[in-house]
């Protein structure tokens, strides 16, 4: 897929060192975009940036710290002068039973998954002009409501609500805001920690199309929402789950 209008655009992406984030950084590079990504994993972030080279820039950022977010985006604004695309990808998805979820764990998860999303949107929107695109990542778990993930699902519900409201608020400035909600994606971490042969069978039974979802496929959906091909789309949730949730 080649989207000529992404060439030379300045892209800001959170959580880009691994998984969906790394696949998306690579996808934007192939389109000729100038990509600035952050992550807490210094080693993985530097390794990816060195591998890709060119117009891919990495900064270590703790997204639970407002000052670090502001400093990072200010630094990018000085280099790029204008931001065209923001992708809020960074998130954690712990499995914790309700009775074992402490208020500290709840607050920490909201700080990473939702508060950081709000802060990056606020700071990046200041440097966006006409045609800007913000893409927030949620999850089909918001629709499926699995057990032991109540805190995580609540954060993703917040992401969807933030997207809908920001689309209305930023629309007069010609900035679009949308959500991508992935299904169960075969990232290295998911395969290492959660995806057993039994889980794979469950996924294949649940999806309309049984093929397992790869990170690159989520990246393609993000590229679409970042490009002019989706210029009439805002305030929407794009389910990229092979039909897991379709009713």
pLDDT tier at 53 (50, 70, 90 boundaries)? confident
Q: List, as one string, the DSSP characters of 122-186.
A: HHHHTTEEEEEEEEEE--THHHH--TT-HHHHHHHHHHHHHHHHHHHHHGGGT-EEEEEEE-SB-
The residue-averaged pLDDT of 95-100 equals 92
* The predicted structure's pLDDT at residue 86: 98
Q: What sign does the dihedral 176-228-15-122 (CA atoms) show?
A: negative
pLDDT tier at 246 (50, 70, 90 boundaries)? confident
**Residue 166 within a domain:** yes
Q: How far is it, in rounded angstroms, from Cα 74 to Cα 81?
A: 9
As for how many domains the chain has, the answer is 1
E strand or H helix at 59: strand 56-60
The residue-averaged pLDDT of 173-185 equals 97
pLDDT tier at 185 (50, 70, 90 boundaries)? very high
* The predicted structure's pLDDT at residue 81: 86
Which residues form the domain of 82? 4-187+215-240
Residue 245 falls in the annotated catalytic set: no
CB 166 within 8 A of CB 122: no
**Residue 197 within a domain:** no
Q: How far is it, in rounded angstroms, from Cα 145 to Cα 93?
A: 13
**Residue 36 within a domain:** yes
**Residue 193 within a domain:** no
Residue 247 has pLDDT above 60, yes or no: no
State the DSSP code for 32.
T
CB 24 within 8 A of CB 13: yes
Query: Which tens digit of pLDDT belongs to each residue from 207-224?
Result: 999 999 999 999 999 999
In the numeric block, which tokens belong to residue 212?
A: 């397992």
**Residue 201 within a domain:** no
**Residue 45 within a domain:** yes
Residue 10 has pLDDT above 70, yes or no: yes
Three-class SS state of 187:
coil
Give the orientation angle of helix 116-125 with respect to helix 66-80, to 10 degrees. Answer: 30
Of all residues in the chain, the percent with pLDDT exceeding 70 is 99
* The predicted structure's pLDDT at residue 91: 96
**Residue 195 vs residues 201, 206, 212, 215: alpha-carbon distances, Å:** 10, 14, 11, 15
The residue-averaged pLDDT of 55-60 equals 97
**Residue 165 within a domain:** yes
* The predicted structure's pLDDT at residue 216: 98
**With left for phi above 0 and alpha for psi between -120 and 50, is residue 86 left, alpha or beta?**
beta
Residue 2 has pLDDT above 80, yes or no: no
* The predicted structure's pLDDT at residue 162: 98
pLDDT tier at 1 (50, 70, 90 boundaries)? low
Q: Give the CATH number, domain containing residue 177.
A: 3.40.50.720
Better pLDDT: 146 or 1: 146
* The predicted structure's pLDDT at residue 145: 87
| Mean of per-residue pLDDT scores for the chain | 95
CB 94 within 8 A of CB 73: no
Catalytic member of 37, 58, 142, 152: 152
**Residue 246 within a domain:** no
Query: Which tens digit of pLDDT belongs to each residue from 121-141?
Result: 999 999 998 999 999 999 999
């Amino acid at each position: 897929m080649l989207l000529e209008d992404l060439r030379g655009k300045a892209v800001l992406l959170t959580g880009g060192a691994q998984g969906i984030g790394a696949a998306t950084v690579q996808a934007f590079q192939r389109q000729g975009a100038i990509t600035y990504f952050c992550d807490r994993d210094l080693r993985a972030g530097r390794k990816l940036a060195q591998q890709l080279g060119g117009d891919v820039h990495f900064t270590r950022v703790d997204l639970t710290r407002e000052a670090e977010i502001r400093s990072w985006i200010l630094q990018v604004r000085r280099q790029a002068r204008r931001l065209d695309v923001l992708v809020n990808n960074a998130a954690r998805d712990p499995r914790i039973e309700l009775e074992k979820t402490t208020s500290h764990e709840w607050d920490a998860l909201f700080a990473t998954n939702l508060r950081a999303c709000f802060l990056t949107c606020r700071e990046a929107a200041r440097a966006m002009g006409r045609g800007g695109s913000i893409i927030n990542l949620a999850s089909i778990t918001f629709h499926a409501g699995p057990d032991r993930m109540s805190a995580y699902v609540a954060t993703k519900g917040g992401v969807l609500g933030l997207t809908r409201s920001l689309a209305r608020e930023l629309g007069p400035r010609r900035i679009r805001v949308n959500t991508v909600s992935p299904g169960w994606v075969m990232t290295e971490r998911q395969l290492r920690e959660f995806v057993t042969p039994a889980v794979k069978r469950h996924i294949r039974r649940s999806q309309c199309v049984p093929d397992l979802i790869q990170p690159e496929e989520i990246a393609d959906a993000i590229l679409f929402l970042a490009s002019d091909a989706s210029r009439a789309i805002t305030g929407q949730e794009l389910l990229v789950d092979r039909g897991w949730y379709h009713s």
